[in-house]
A and B are shown apart, each in its own frame.
Chain A
C-alpha cells in the first residue's frame, strides 16, 4: 500500500513546491490582489454613501426651497397686511385731524361771530338809546311847554316807580 506510506521524494518536492509557491504568491500576488479588492470595495462603498448623501441633500434642498418660499409668502402677506393697516391708520388719522382742525376753525369763527354780534348789538343799543334820548328830548321839549302836562308826567313817573318798588 504505497499510498499510505509517504514517499520521501514526493514529500520533499511537495514541500519545496508549496513553500516556493507560497513565497512567490505571498510576495507578488495575494497582498496586491487583496488590497485592490478592498480598495475597490471601499471605493464602491464611498460612492454609495456619497450618492445617498447627495440624494438626501437634494431631497432636503427641495424641502428647504419649499420652506423658504412658504416663509417668503407669509412674510409678503404680513407686509401687505401691515401696509394696509398703516394706510387705513393714516387715513383715519388724517381724517380725525382734519375734523379736529375743522372744529377748531368753526369754533374760532363762531367765537368771533358772537363777539362781532355782541359788539354790533352793543353799538346798536347805544345808537338806539342815543336816538331815543334825542327823540325823547325833542318830545319833551314839545310837551313841557304846558305845565299840566309836566305835572301829569311827574305824577305818572312817580307812580310807576312806586309800583316797581
Chain B
C-alpha cells in the first residue's frame, strides 16, 4: 500500500518535474534571450549598489567600504541640518511641480494646434523643426539662451528696449523672479515638439467620422476640440500625467546644472545639482558620503512615488506601468 502510494506520488512528482522541464525546454529561447540582460543588470546595476553603504559611513576611498567607519544615520541627520539641502529639496519640488502643471497642458495644446493644420507639407515641416531642439544638449542650449537673454547686447533685450517695452536692459538670468519662468520656458522650447508626438498619435487615432458628423451639426473648431479631441485622448493624458508625476524628485539635472548661476541658486539649486557639487568640491571626503546620502534619500522618495503612481495607473487603466 504504502509503496504503491509512494510510487504513485513519485511518478506524479516525476511527471510534474518532467512537465516543468518540458516547459523550460519549450521556452528555452526565452531564457537565452533574457539571461544576458539579467547578468548585465546584475553586474552593472545591482552589484554597484553596494555603494549605498557610503550613506551610512564616514567614507574614505582609500580605506574603502570595508575599512571606513560606520556612522549609522548620522549623515541623514547632517543633511537635514544643512541649509543647502532643504533649499534644494524645496526647489526640486517647485520646479518639477511647475513643469508638470504648466508643461503638461501646454504640450497637449501644442499637439492640438499641430493637429489643426490641414496643409500636409507645412504640418510635416513644422513637426520636423519642432523636434530640433530636442536633439541638442543642454550645455549648448543653456549657452544659447544666456546669450540671447544677456543684458549686454542680447537679442531679446535689444528687441524689448527698441520696442519700448523696457527702459533699460533687464538681466533675466540673474533675477530670482525671472529664473524659474525661464527654466520652464526653455524646457518647453526644447521638449514640447518631441513630447507632443504621443498626443498627436492619440489624436490621429480618433475616428474621423466623429468630426464629420459634428461638422454637419455646425459645431465650431473649438467645440470640436472640446467635445471630440480631448475626450479622445483622455486615456493617454491620464497615463502620461501619472508617469510625469512619478518623476517629481528629479527636476532636470542637465538643465539646472547648465543654466543655474550664483545669483539664482536660491531658487535654482535642485537636489541633483547639489549632489554633484558635493561630490566634486567637498571638504575632505565628507562630500562623498553626504552626496551619497542625498542620493539615497532622493531614490527612496522617487521609488515610493513611482509605486504610488503605478498603483493609481492600475486603477485608471487596469494595467500597470511595469
Are A and B physically bound partners?
Answer: no
Q: Which residues of chain B have a CB within 8 Å of any CB of chain A? A: none
Interface residues of A (CB under 8 A from B): none
